[in-house]
């Protein structure tokens, strides 16, 4: 995730929103580090989608995330099997950048 911030943050475009599709989400890490790093780069609208069972495990085993639901949203996805994409997108007016787990450079449009 931190590499994603470095790679996508260097596009040079005015990007204001992020959408993250992932299997698991470490809420304290996102809440304390990733959220702030995105904010520093001007990305205030943050939406994260993760696997439902992984989300429940995170909630049951970790400290509460102080900013979840207020500064960013987390939407657990319930489906047969696992929700396991690794896609990171940053969006702005008329511009966007995306990065998948296999990519080494962002796709900017």
- Residue range 69-86, pLDDT digits in tens: 889 999 999 999 899 888
Higher pLDDT, residue 63 or 98: 98
pLDDT at 105: 53
Distance of CA 16 to the CA centre of its chain: 13
Token pair in block for residue 35: 């959220």
Q: For residue 10, what pLDDT band results from cuts at 50, 70 and 90?
A: low
CB-based contacts of 75, cutoff 8 Å, min separation 6: 47, 48, 49, 50
pLDDT at 66: 84
pLDDT at 42: 86
> How many Å apart are CA 25 and CA 69, to the nearest integer?
14
Q: pTM for the whole thing? A: 0.80
């Amino acid at each position: 995730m931190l590499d994603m911030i470095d790679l996508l943050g260097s596009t040079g475009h005015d990007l204001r929103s992020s959408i993250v599709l992932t299997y698991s989400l470490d809420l304290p890490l996102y809440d304390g580090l990733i959220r702030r790093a995105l904010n520093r780069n001007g990305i205030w609208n943050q939406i994260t989608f993760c696997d439902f069972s992984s989300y429940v495990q995170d909630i049951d085993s970790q400290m509460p995330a102080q900013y979840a639901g207020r500064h960013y949203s987390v939407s657990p996805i319930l489906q047969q099997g696992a929700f396991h994409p690794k896609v990171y997108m940053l969006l702005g007016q008329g511009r966007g950048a995306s990065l998948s787990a296999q990519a080494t450079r962002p796709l900017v449009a």
